[in-house]
Structure 1
């Protein structure tokens, strides 16, 4: 659908929904990082577990930074689309969470 004259798109509440989705995803990533810390503490704090925990914390910080930048950019009336760099950062951090979680289990 197009809005008014000129065929410009009216985003309505879509930027707000996207901002809330980024916040929920950040909360989920925080829970994953905290559970990784808990697992590392309960597993006896082996060197491999501590390394995986440190890498998980780094991935969490990377995701937190990418999500924060995206949420800030969504604060305008007509936000820019997510760029390839932001999408790649979020995807790599998510994959890193899975890899480091598997490393902690073995």
Structure 2
């Protein structure tokens, strides 16, 4: 079986789209929690939106297939850091709600 190099870029692009979609879902949940909570929850929701927008800016060209933007080698580490930051914000929401 021969490898079709034409499919790899499409799979990669779809993976970046799924990642951005998942981060968008988490940011929307954070916003929802921020709107129903107190000022602390609103601040956490604002931070989640800022992280999401930064990630969207970094990864948009890769997810849409417009090609990697300059400095694309930082896309993966920054996206992983953004996912960890959003997870931490979610944990803070839960811990704040438990008190």
TM-score (norm 2): 0.78
Higher relative contact order, structure no. (Cα contacts within 8 Å, ≥ 6 residues apart): 1
CA RMSD of aligned residues (A): 2.1
Gaps of 5+ in 1: 4-9, 75-81
Gaps of 5+ in 2: none
CA contact (8 A) 1:26 1:64 kept: yes
CA contact (8 A) 2:55 2:78 kept: yes
CA contact (8 A) 1:62 1:89 kept: no
Structure having the larger proportion of residues in helix: 2
Give 1:2 shift.
8.3
Q: Higher Cα Rg: structure 1 or 2?
A: 1
Partner of 2:78: 89
* CA displacement, residues 2-54 of structure 1 (integer Å, 9 cap, x when unaligned): 88xxxxxx6220100110111111111111111111112222xx221111111
Give 1:102 shift.
1.2
TM-score (norm 1): 0.73
Partner of 1:61: 53
